[in-house]
A and B are shown apart, each in its own frame.
Chain A
């Protein structure tokens, strides 16, 4: 079965779109249980890289973006109704994302039925690492890789070890921090500064409206130092006066890994600035009219001091959009009991519970505590964590089903209404292979409930889940795949 997936990345500086054809294998091969995997990913269209349309006050111009997309669609010879899945992400500097929700609504008709909208620094880091190719290389070779995606507004870092994404971080540094007037570089070594972001303000020493190449290189050096400090804090210490700016520009938790512990084998650079690191230095116009190229040239030198070698990713500038289009989706071999008409479900908050063995009545309490802590009023999906493959047994599944039933039946009326009862089905996710058995046992215990159990899903650090309409292959209901997307943040941030 083939599905068409779209990736749209509306970044601080540039916007682009890719269309990919994903091949799903859901037929039982060699008499195993149907295992849904994406077996092939093929990019069928890449849009040109265009400047993100902005309004006068620096927000994203929703109409402009819609126009761009229509243009891309025409060029690709594809209509929105042909698109089955994918992700629209609005990345980069937060000030630009003020109206992200509005933009998403404006262009939702131009994306397919099940295209998720998301944003958030951690997700961006993860998608960029997948899109750049670092993730699959780490998985193939077993190397420990760090992908650094430097775009217009932000630098998104992700660490992959043993084929798993372990850490992400984001620093508010990018090419667009300081915009320069296209000038005759090389003739007069002076540039006109046309605009700065709030990060750019902090990075520039004095706020003149022009700066010499030398001054800009100094600023770029500072940007490099901050970035290198994030990557290897003990090797690249910051002078006292830079601590404050580092804290101000760090958008996530500190990366905080001991370099020794992870033994990074290689650094990968991607993003627009990453791409410029690989480009030959040319005179003439400054690409993108910002500090990006100066930053790239400085970083090219400074990154040589990292304790592991670096390279520029083969998919550098398009890493995030490829990640959004090709890697946001997981598919599950799953069972839906009388819940299919309620799909797709979007933006269900994930409640992660650690499965306890040989205990009673822990689930209801755990869920209540978490809901209170998160101040959750809406329906949620339950993620069962901490189940080892070897310990999956009839008894364990029966216990879990009992706990879920107890929770559903003991919850006070208000919580029940707000949780999984009523029009929203009972949604249970797990990494381990338990969906069909849990569903069968729950069906016997929870009457008149709509149950959706989904397995093979790695919820990781995710906060929300979208569950799409099942994709059927052939007529066998046992070969149904459900598209699932795990996200970190919604727009209302």
Chain B
């Protein structure tokens, strides 16, 4: 078999940039342009806020409350990561007032932009209805989801703790790479609160059109959460239960 054929076979097995050739000591123009385009896509995902279209077509349609963390804006969020984990006490209070008074809930869903607002925009329209329908089928009570701007994973602990939910689910955009800028993860935490640590979380990751489809992930998250509620454990504790 010719080397050329072998090389193109290998390249077809991975999204990584292999077998791209070179022009002298530089990449070829085509390679360079596609690299620049993907890099720009990744930067855009990190640096943009949730788009007005998403706010209108998704957030407004489901009538979801929107809050911003202590980080306030994108550049501060990137430069001061811990600020993305907390809402100001005043914001939290206002949020509590905004949420309708409700019977005790099992699950609090948080939708956070994280490091990729594009991931949220790409996946939530397929994922969210699956969660609502799935939890309804399983008789699991879900509160109104909260959209968090400049949010990190742990912000869901604070919100769910305040709403008294037994489980927090944070649907958050993941740090983009050069082959995918739209990957979402779901962090599921039992008994979330100030004492929660990372090993308490169960995560479903790689939710994007080339990974796990959002709609399928939705059905899986429902089953996962059902088990977490039944066993009253998540993260490493859940794994230890077998």
Name the residue of chain B whose CB is nearest to the CB of A266. Answer: B1
Determine whether the beta carbon of A440 is less than 8 Å from that of B134.
yes
Interface bracket on A: 20 to 34
Cα distance, A121 to B121, chains bound together (Å): 50
Say whether B242 contacts A475, CB under 8 Å. Answer: yes
A interface majority secondary structure? helix
Given A143-B1, A474-B242, A476-B227, check contact A444 B216 (CB 8 Å): no
Is residue B26 contacting chain A, with contact meaning CB distance below 8 A? no
Known interface pairs A475-B241, A477-B227; A436-B209 also in contact (CB < 8 Å): no
B227 close to A433 (CB less than 8 A): no
B1, B204, B212, B241: which contacts A433 (Cβ < 8 A)?
B212
Q: Given A393-B215, A394-B215, A477-B223: A440 and B242 within 8 A (CB)? A: no
Please determine whether B223 and A434 come into contact, CB atoms closer than 8 angstroms: no
Check if B215 sits within 8 Å of A443, measured CB to CB. no
A437 touches B215 (CB 8 A): yes
Cβ-defined contact, B203 with A31, below 8 A: yes
Interface check B49, CB cutoff 8 A: no
Smallest CB–CB gap between A445 and chain B, Å?
A: 11
Q: Is the CB of B204 within 8 A of A31?
A: yes
The residue in chain A whose Cβ has the minimal distance to the Cβ of B136 is A444
A436 touches B213 (CB 8 A): no
Question: How many chain B residues have a CB neighbour from A under 8 Å?
Answer: 39
B216 near A392 with CB under 8 A, answer yes
Residue A439 lies at the interface, judged by CB distance under 8 Å to chain B: yes
Residues in A whose Cβ lies below 8 Å from that of B6:
141-142
**Residues B216 and A436 in contact, CB atoms below 8 Å apart:** yes
Q: Is A441 an interface residue (CB 8 A)?
A: yes
Q: How far is the CA of A432 from the CA of B5 in the complex (A)?
A: 28
Partner of B213, one of A143, A434, A475: A434
Asked if residues A390 and B219 are in contact (CB atoms below 8 Å), the reply is no
**In the complex, what distance in Å separates the CA atom of A432 from the CA atom of B210?**
11
Q: In the assembled complex, how far is the CB of residue B99 from the closest CB belonging to chain A, in whole angstroms? A: 25
Which of B185, B203, B222 sits near A440, CB closer than 8 Å? B222
For the complex, is A414 an interface residue (Cβ under 8 Å from B)? Answer: no
A490 within 8 A of B: no
Whether the pair A33, B9 counts as a contact (CB closer than 8 A) is: no
Q: Is B173 an interface residue (CB 8 A)?
A: no
Q: Which residue of chain B is the closest to A475 with respect to CB atoms?
A: B242
- Please tell me if the beta carbons of A478 and B212 are within 8 angstroms of each other in the complex: no
Contact B212 A32 (CB under 8 A): yes
Of the candidates A33, A444, A475, the one whose C-beta lies within 8 Å of that of B212 is: A33
6 closest Cβ pairs, A-B complex: A142-B9, A436-B219, A474-B242, A392-B213, A394-B126, A440-B219
Taking Cβ atoms with an 8 Å cutoff, the residues of A that contact B are 30-33, 141-143, 162, 265, 335, 389-390, 392-397, 432-437, 439-441, 443-444, 474-478
Known pairs A437-B216, A440-B130 / 20 extra A-B pairs, C-beta < 8 Å = A31-B185, A31-B203, A31-B204, A31-B206, A32-B206, A32-B212, A33-B204, A142-B1, A142-B5, A392-B213, A393-B215, A394-B129, A394-B218, A433-B216, A435-B216, A436-B220, A437-B218, A476-B227, A478-B220, A478-B223
Q: Which residues of B contact A (CB under 8 A)?
A: 1, 5-6, 8-10, 12, 125-127, 129-130, 133-134, 137, 185, 202-206, 209-220, 222-224, 227, 241-242
